[in-house]
Amino acid sequence: MIGRLYTVAIGSEATTAAKTLIEVASAADSVTLIERLSCGQTSFDTSENLGIKVQRITTTGTGTAFTPVPVQEGDATFGGSIETNASAEPTYTANEILLENGFNVLSGFLWTPASDDEVISLSPSALVGFMLNVTPSASMNFSYGCTLREIGG
């Protein structure tokens, strides 16, 4: 496949609320494909079901800036922007949910498309959020991430 591949990997971060884990903003001159999403926890040993949602964003929120790591050493820096661990939630676009699944915290969540037709595609300048949309019963340390492919730029 064409384009440059990047990874976003966040290790063990305490979370006590439903919130946006990763906000992806595609560059103005490229398309961004989301090819993998994951979320797991490292501190809780009791079965509990939570929810994950991917939804288009109208207005960006506030989070921690993160620089995606190029999978191929020497590739250019990702042209878009990434924020993690939202401190102020973005405004999500109504009725624009791209993916919504439940998962058990003991086994974690992993999404990989079954075919190229299921890859989540972001147009130039588009925004999308990957969120934990169910509040955990107690503080849990979550590790989460995504794999992105940038085409153009």
Torsion angle (degrees, nearest 10) of CA 129, 70, 140, 83 = -40
β-bridge mates for residue 100, sequence order: 53
Q: Residue 92 is which amino acid?
A: Y
Q: Residue 117 is which amino acid?
A: D
| Closest by CA position to 5, among listed 119, 146, 149 | 149
pLDDT in tens, 95-123: 999 999 999 999 999 999 999 899 999 99
Task: Using only the alpha carbons of the chain, give its radius of gyration.
Answer: 15
Average pLDDT, integer, range 22-28: 98
Confidence of residue 50 (pLDDT cuts 50, 70, 90): very high
CB neighbours of 73 closer than 8 A, spacing ≥ 6?
none
pLDDT of residue 153: 75
Q: In angstroms, rounded to a whole number, what is the distance separating the alpha carbons of residues 105 and 4? A: 31
Full-model pTM: 0.95
C-alpha neighbours within 13 Å on the C-beta side of residue 77:
6
Q: In angstroms, rounded to a whole number, what is the distance separating the alpha carbons of residues 40 and 132? A: 11
**Taking 70 as the threshold, does the pLDDT of residue 1 lie above it?**
no
pLDDT of residue 110: 97
Confidence of residue 21 (pLDDT cuts 50, 70, 90): very high
